[in-house]
Amino acid sequence: MDVRDDVVDILAGFALFADLSTPQLESLVETFGEETYVEGDRVLRQGLTGSSFYVILDGSASIRVDGVDRASLRAGDYFGEISCLLGVPPTADIVARGTLRCLVLPAQELESFLVGHPQVMYRLLQGEARKVRTTTRWLS
Amino acid sequence: MTDRPFPPARYSLLVVGSGPGALQLTYSLRRLGVEHAVISQDSEPGGMFRRWPIFQRMLSWTKPYANHERGSTAYERYDWNSLLGDDDASRAIMPRIMDGTSYFPSRPEMQRGLEAFATGTGLQIRYECRWESTRKDGDDFVLTTSDGEYRAPCVVFAVGIAEPWKPSVLDIEGVQQYGQLRPAEQYADKRVFIVGKQNSGFEIASGLLPWARQIVLASPSSAKLSVDTRTLVGVRARYVQPYEDWALAGGVVILDASIERVEPSGAGYAVHTKSPADGRQLMFDVDDVIAATGFVSPLQDLPQVGVATFGQSRIPTQTPFWESATVRGIYFAGTIMQGSQGMRKHGIPSNSGAVQGYRYNARVLARHLAEERFGHKPEQRRLRSEEVVPLLLSEASRGPELWHQRSYLARVIGVGSDGGITDEGIKPLAHFVDGGGEHDGVAITLEANGKDDPYPAVYVRAGGRLVEHLMGSHPLLDFEGPEYQSELSGVLSGVLGRAPATRSAQ
């Protein structure tokens, strides 16, 4: 058992996991790995296969496309889900801005996790819908 | 005591530890001619293998007979436990020591193998010298030890991750941890509750199967098995017997549940659990509670010096060359090297937590330190362009560094601005991919995705742009056939095209 109480407390405050009970959050913490990056580290690499799904626990990161920063991510945000769901390489680098602490789930485990936690799947779907709406606004 | 090496003084490089990670590093540094001191709190070499695994048999195998000659480089793929020497006497030591009853060495055999390596190669270590505290003084680190103060601008800590850890819910008197177990026969007819479903929990359960009346293994998430993940992630086959006992309803209970609380109850304990799936609560009356909940690294006061750590195991965050990401001059060797996470493609970690992985890291680190801190000129053999494809495919088929450290270590070829091709040897893949570099180059590694056979992965940097090329696998894992040669030649045509057709090897 690898229950890290501080991580459970952090996750309890994230919208993505708002519907989970404490034992479910403890199980999630055991299922996901934890990784820490420092300034400038690449978490996702544009164009390279084999990436994972990440949830930012602490810190911030840049979304960088072809070397240009396009947006930023912060605690509670997640990334890598499109690459995992579609089985394609990421279309952007995700680069740590200072110390960045993430939970990580390999792509091959994302489906079973989401199917096993439909509330998280619904929240994630809401997040994707917001991204589509934002993109549509940009294009219109 | 007067003939003990390395008395307290200032050294240009200090290594702390005498487990396999430290032994491999000091050996490799000596072979490169890098002066350094080594201190260890232990009285003899071997590190944690002088005590553990507690049931006295290793989890890593050594196949005495394989398709490659014992002692050859290619044989190392099958021998996970021998350290890497440069002469016949110090290579493939373990199969010579093992008694043939198992291809997993016993713990005493592993200890003897490490002692034989240290003695046979004449390694110098100051034993019984305990590191107590650390501070920074100008460019130096000052380590206070039981023998006095050591100063060095560069320190490598190879102190393991073998300090048992337990969560606060298990912090009550009598709860045992890995290393605190009684002799197995003293669990005869006892009800044993083991918290944790990783290898240490299953190792304990396996050892107690002939003795305990009932064994419960519990943690919030399901157990993973290495035969399913096709990696070292998950319970190894050697410890799967309790899992089969549970699957066949033999009496073992394997439970996905969080531990809500543990209370003393009579001569034993009452353990209250709650299912993450449906919230169902259960209570177990047991005689013993064992925490198999992980280990931490005994870093002492390094976090106060500025060393950042992550995760429950408090592993230092590291660069691709195993330097602290937050304190320059502090490096790590041995199992702590798993803190340099590399690419983690498909979520699969390196094997840096095990001897068969970190023994190669140590060699790479020794060379890195020699070049970066001691001014050694990099060894870079010049290659003719027609040598490149056979070399890379040979590495993918037989290179032990690539086999044991998939998507982590790579064989790197550099292409200079003059078109000259150099063999840069084994380097961390993350360094090649993320480190950029001014010149073009190629890195080949072996990759696994958790479901298929391993396959070669080639990374080509040309004109500042990096491209990944994944090659297909082969049923016999032989990547040297004409189809691979043709494919790789095509992949490299752009980057090697500018190279002179012939160039004498040096």
Residue B436: per-residue pLDDT: 67
For residue A27, the domain's CATH number is 2.60.120.10
- Read out DSSP for B296-321? E---TTHHHHT--EETTTTEEPB-TT
- Read out DSSP for B250-293? SS-EEEE-EEEEEEEETTEEEEEEE-TTT--EEEEEESEEEE--
Amino acid at A82: I
CA distance A136 to chain B (A): 31
| Non-local CB neighbours of B193 within 8 Å, separated by 6+ positions | B216, B218, B269, B271, B284, B286, B288, B289, B290
Q: Which residues pair with B134 in a beta bridge?
A: B143
Domain ranges of chain B: 14-162+296-373, 166-293, 381-496
Torsion (CA) B43, B47, B51, B54 in degrees, nearest 10: 170
d(CA B105, CA B20): 15
Q: What mean pLDDT is reported for chain B?
A: 94
pLDDT at B503 over 60: no
Residue A3: per-residue pLDDT: 43
Helix A22-31 vs helix A5-12: angle between axes, to the nearest 10 degrees? Answer: 120
Rounded to an integer, the average pLDDT of B157-164 is 95
What are B92-110's pLDDT values in tens digits? Answer: 999 999 999 999 999 999 9
Residue B506: per-residue pLDDT: 34
In terms of phi and psi (left: phi > 0; alpha: psi -120 to 50; beta: otherwise), the region of A121 is alpha
Residue B419: per-residue pLDDT: 84
Rg (CA), chain A: 15
Instruction: For residue B317, give the chain A residue with the closest CA.
Output: A36
Q: How far is CA B198 from CA B83, B87, B202, B336, in A?
A: 26, 38, 6, 18
Element of type H or E holding B10: none
Contact A35 B259 (CB under 8 A): no
pLDDT at B361 over 50: yes
In which residue are the tokens 């035969």 written? B227
CATH 3.50.50.60 fits B14-162+296-373, yes or no: yes
Rounded to an integer, the average pLDDT of B267-283 is 95
Predicted confidence band of residue A4 (pLDDT cuts 50, 70, 90): low
DSSP annotation of B219 reads E
Question: Which of A29-33, A96-100, B364-368 shows the lowest mean pLDDT across its residues?
Answer: A29-33
What are B409-457's pLDDT values in tens digits? Answer: 999 999 998 889 999 999 999 999 998 677 899 999 999 998 899 999 9
pLDDT at B130 over 50: yes
Q: Suggest the residue from B317, B455, B458 to mutate for an interface test with chain A (most A CBs closer than 10 A).
A: B317
Predicted confidence band of residue A139 (pLDDT cuts 50, 70, 90): confident
Q: What is the largest CA-CA distance in chain A?
A: 50
Contact A23 B274 (CB under 8 A): yes
Domain range for A134 is: 5-139
Residue B502: per-residue pLDDT: 42
Residues of A in contact with B219 (CB under 8 A): 1, 30
The partner residue sitting opposite B312, judged by closest CB among A2, A107, A109, is A2
- Read out DSSP for B485-500? HHHHHHHHHHHHTTS-
Residue A137: per-residue pLDDT: 84
The partner residue sitting opposite B220, judged by closest CB among A3, A89, A107, is A3
Residues of B in contact with A99 (CB under 8 A): 308
Rounded to an integer, the average pLDDT of B482-490 is 97
Instruction: For residue A101, give the chain B residue with the closest CA.
Output: B310
Contact A30 B219 (CB under 8 A): yes
d(CA B241, CA B247): 10
CATH topology of domain B166-293: FAD/NAD(P)-binding domain (3.50.50)
What is the count of structural domains for chain A? Answer: 1
Rounded to an integer, the average pLDDT of B285-293 is 97
pLDDT at B325 over 50: yes
What are A63-87's pLDDT values in tens digits? Answer: 999 999 999 999 999 999 999 999 9
Element of type H or E holding B332: strand B330-332
d(CA B409, CA A75): 32
pLDDT at B2 over 70: no
DSSP annotation of B223 reads P
Q: Which residues pair with B315 in a beta bridge?
A: B310
